[in-house]
Amino acid sequence: MSSSPLPEQTQIPAEFALLAFDMEKYSKIPEARMESTRSDVDDIVAGVLADCGLPDPQRLPHSYKDGGDGAILLFPPEVLARIIDPLLGRLSAALARYDQQRLASSPLVRLRVAVHAGPVTGPGLRSGNALVDVSRLLDSQAVRQALQSAADMRGFLAGVLSETAYQRCVHGGYTPELAPLHFAQATARVSDKPGYQALCHLHVPGMPGAALTPYLDEEPSPGSSEAGSPAGPGPSGAAPSAASASQGGGIQFHAPLYGATVGGHIERVRNTYPGR
């Protein structure tokens, strides 16, 4: 006797790598300049994607979710590591070049960037917890505070990785230019979402993770979890602690430093699918 087909809702949706970005203080840009500034950012992002050998989600059905001051981009899951390294460093460098060339009257552009991975559902790929999670990471106080640290160093980008993305890629050893010492572990919270907190990992190109900690309200408590779930173990079988994430054989820099030296900060610290 042949078995009946499973209902569609019992099938696990396809997984994607998610990259979300948002422009700092977009609402304060004069309305007459909003469109041109956003177009410049889209061009910068598209150029960096091409430079990293990544597909442009705007050319793929349902893989680009515009948010006005930013967007969520969907990629095949196998490129998750590449949207962390080298993309974050190259995007930071591209924003720095843009700032050097812009007119004094043009708006300053800084970006918050979030990276996550998970299933996305629906015929228009517009549903699923992964989209919610990456949006909340992008809006979290932790990455906003990290962007302030970047601004103080004359940088233009702060990135936040979900625990899932961090464990799979950085802790898994798939980001050759980025090691745990380049990240600061934190708890992502959103001011108007009191029930939300998630373990996350912050990165500002050109800065060691330890230099970010003075900007953070608090360190994550032991046993902190992402969206209420225990942090997943890495290849060694145990999730790294905040202390171990900031240790390394020395500080390495893989992107230009802007303004004051990182030492000044350390003294204050006694870390596609194609559309269906």
The least confident of 6-10, 51-55, 135-139, 155-159 is: 6-10
SS3 264: helix
Q: What is the pLDDT of residue 48?
A: 98
Identify the weakest region by mean pLDDT among 62-66, 210-214, 258-262.
258-262
Which runs of E-coded beta strand occur in 172-232? 184-190, 193-203
- pLDDT above 90: residue 223: no
Give the residue carrying structure tokens 């996305």.
Answer: 120
What's the rounded mean pLDDT across residues 131-147? 97
Phi, psi values for residue 70, rounded to 5°: 180, -165
Torsion of CA 240, 242, 244, 246, to 10 degrees: 130
- How many angstroms separate the first and last alpha carbons of the chain? 32
pLDDT score for 105? 80
Q: What average pLDDT is seen over the chain? A: 81
Contacts of 138 by beta carbon, 8 Å cutoff, 6+ apart: 20, 21, 22, 70, 112, 113, 114, 160
For position 9, what pLDDT does the model report? 60
Nearest-angstrom CA–CA distance, 224 and 221: 6
Q: What is the pLDDT of residue 2?
A: 58
pLDDT higher than 70, residue 259: no
Residues sharing a CB contact under 8 Å with residue 183, sequence separation 6 or more, in sequence order:
161, 166, 170, 201, 202, 203, 209, 245, 271
5-30 pLDDT, tens digit per residue, is 555 567 888 899 999 999 998 888 88
Q: How confident is the model at residue 171 (pLDDT cuts 50, 70, 90)?
A: very high
pLDDT of residue 139: 96
How much is the pTM?
0.77
3-state secondary structure of 31: helix
**Alpha helices, DSSP H only, in 197-261?**
242-245
The two beta strands, 157-162 and 111-119, are parallel
| pLDDT the model gives residue 34 | 87
Averaged pLDDT, 167-186: 98
Report the distance separating Cα 160 and Cα 215, nearest Å: 14
Please compute the mean of the pLDDT values over residues 69-83 and round it to a whole number. Answer: 96
DSSP-derived 3-state class of residue 255: coil
- Please, where are the H alpha helices in 20-128? 31-51, 87-101
What would the pLDDT profile of 145-155 be if each residue is shown by its tens digit?
999 999 999 99
Q: In what order do the strands lie in the sheet with 184-190?
A: 64-66, 70-75, 15-23, 111-119, 157-162, 193-203, 184-190
With beta carbons less than 8 A apart as the criterion, state whether 115 and 167 touch: no
According to the model, what pLDDT value does residue 1 have? Answer: 53
Q: Please determine, for residue 237, whether its predicted confidence score (pLDDT) is greater than 60.
A: no
